């Protein structure tokens, strides 16, 4: 039987198209409101997969708007009871369920101080949706698998729209292409399934990304941890060199996101160094990065040109299509290990923390 996780991975092109089409009016309302009240800084509050989306948002928003962005530490509010000055801020809570107690509290406290508040959620009737001044709905339909997939890419899309509302030079027509790029990534499913048996007995790994794909390193590692019970560490290529690379030995599994653009040089150097150490290296890339295919390293290569030409970074639109083969890999590897990716042990769909 096909897993719920795989079914939801395959739904992503339709989810992206539907979400963009149905949320444009809400985005334009926020854009109009922000034109008269530009925030001094942005605070993003999230947990789990949504926190990985927030990490992407930090890079995207700072790169494209120049506004400082911070990731909230909810325990500062919930455990320590500290008061954080959120005046003149844009505070964004991201939650698949909209019922994360701690992230909702961050938004509630910020709203009481007069901050502009935005909620990004998949559930229109959730507590988060009810308390947010502006609501962006991920139109993914109910996500039944515990491992989030379609809501993650939907949240990334919402963060592009948030950047657009803040005045970033992102074009809606470029965002419309993301559904097609996701569909191109899905065509890699047979290739990904061929790789999965090689890693059947893998119990540890490292995932490396940088810049706009740093968040994908976290998300790929999380998917392997929760569905395959692999101890997957995640790093930027810069941080990996500051100590953790010492753990690499012969046959050590290393997964790298290697888009074209400004991060390619350091990621190529990382790939070469890992290969020289005997590591088992697998790259995720696309046709825009012709050099990656020439390295002689195992590659999952999206059969489309994802690299962007223009004033924005070349890899600006790679995160959504790049995470899809990683999701497919985690689902396929779980099957190889005889595990049910829809029901990870000790996990439930809605996790509430303080």
Last residue of a domain, one of 117, 150, 176: 176
HSE (CB half, 13 Å, CA atoms) of 158? 33
2-57 pLDDT, tens digit per residue, is 999 999 999 999 999 999 999 999 999 999 999 989 999 999 999 999 999 999 99
pTM of the model: 0.96
What pLDDT sits at residue 348? 59
Same domain, 171 and 204: no
Same domain, 252 and 290: yes
Q: How far apart are CA 53 and CA 46, in angstroms?
A: 8
226-283 pLDDT, tens digit per residue, is 999 999 999 999 998 888 888 999 999 999 999 999 999 999 999 999 999 999 999 9
Our CA angle for 200, 205, 210, nearest 5°, is: 130
Q: Is residue 120 part of a domain?
A: yes
Last residue of a domain, one of 116, 150, 176: 176
What pLDDT sits at residue 300? 96
Q: Is residue 345 part of a domain?
A: no
Last residue of a domain, one of 128, 145, 176: 176
Q: Please count the structural domains in the chain.
A: 2
The average confidence (pLDDT) of the chain is 95
Is residue 68 pLDDT above 60, yes or no?
yes
What pLDDT sits at residue 350? 57
110-121 pLDDT, tens digit per residue, is 999 999 999 999
Q: Is residue 342 part of a domain?
A: no
Q: Is residue 351 part of a domain?
A: no
Same domain, 330 and 193: yes
Same domain, 165 and 192: no
Same domain, 192 and 247: yes
- How is residue 87 written in tokens? 């005046």
Host domain of residue 255? 181-336
**Confidence grade of residue 190 (pLDDT, cut at 50, 70, 90):** very high
Same domain, 219 and 168: no
CATH of the domain at 310: 3.40.50.10490
- Percent of the chain exceeding pLDDT 90 equals 91
Q: Is residue 207 part of a domain?
A: yes
* Alpha-carbon distances, residue 256 vs 132, 207, 274, 279, 340 (angstroms): 37, 6, 10, 12, 25
CB 56 within 8 A of CB 120: no
Q: What is the CA radius of gyration of the chain?
A: 19
Same domain, 255 and 274: yes
* Sheet hosting strand 41-46, strand order edge to edge: 69-71, 41-46, 89-95, 116-121, 134-137
């Amino acid at each position: 039987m096909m897993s719920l996780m795989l079914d939801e991975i395959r739904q992503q092109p339709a989810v992206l198209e539907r979400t963009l089409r149905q949320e444009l009016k809400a985005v334009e309302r926020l854009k109009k409101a922000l034109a008269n009240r530009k925030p001094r800084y942005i605070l993003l509050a999230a947990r789990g997969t949504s926190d990985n989306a927030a990490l992407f948002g930090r890079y995207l928003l700072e790169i494209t708007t120049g506004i400082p962005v911070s990731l909230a530490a909810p325990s500062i509010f919930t455990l320590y009871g500290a008061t954080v000055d959120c005046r003149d801020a844009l505070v964004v809570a991201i939650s698949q369920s909209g019922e994360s107690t701690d992230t909702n509290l961050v938004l509630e406290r910020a709203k009481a101080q007069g901050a502009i508040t935005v909620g990004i959620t998949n559930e229109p009737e959730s507590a988060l949706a009810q308390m947010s001044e502006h609501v962006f709905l991920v139109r993914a339909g109910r996500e039944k698998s515990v491992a989030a997939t379609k809501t993650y890419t939907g949240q990334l899309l919402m963060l592009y729209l948030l950047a657009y509302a803040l005045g970033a030079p992102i074009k809606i027509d470029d965002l419309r292409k993301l559904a097609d790029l996701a569909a191109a990534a899905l065509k890699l499913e047979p290739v990904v399934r061929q790789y999965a048996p090689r890693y059947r007995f893998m119990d540890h790994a490292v995932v490396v990304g940088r810049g706009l794909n740093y968040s994908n390193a976290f998300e790929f590692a999380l998917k392997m941890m929760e569905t395959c019970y692999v101890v997957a560490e995640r790093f930027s290529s810069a941080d990996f060199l500051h100590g953790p690379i010492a753990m690499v030995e012969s046959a050590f599994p290393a997964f790298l996101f290697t888009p074209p653009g400004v991060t390619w040089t350091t990621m190529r150097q990382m790939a070469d160094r890992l290969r020289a150490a005997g590591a088992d290296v697998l790259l995720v890339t696309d046709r825009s990065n012709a050099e990656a295919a020439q390295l002689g390293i195992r590659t999952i290569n999206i059969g489309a040109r994802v690299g962007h030409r223009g004033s924005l970074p070349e890899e600006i639109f790679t995160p959504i299509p790049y995470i899809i083969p990683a999701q497919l890999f985690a689902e396929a590897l779980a099957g190889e290990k005889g595990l049910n990716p829809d029901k990870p042990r000790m996990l439930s769909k809605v996790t509430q923390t303080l």
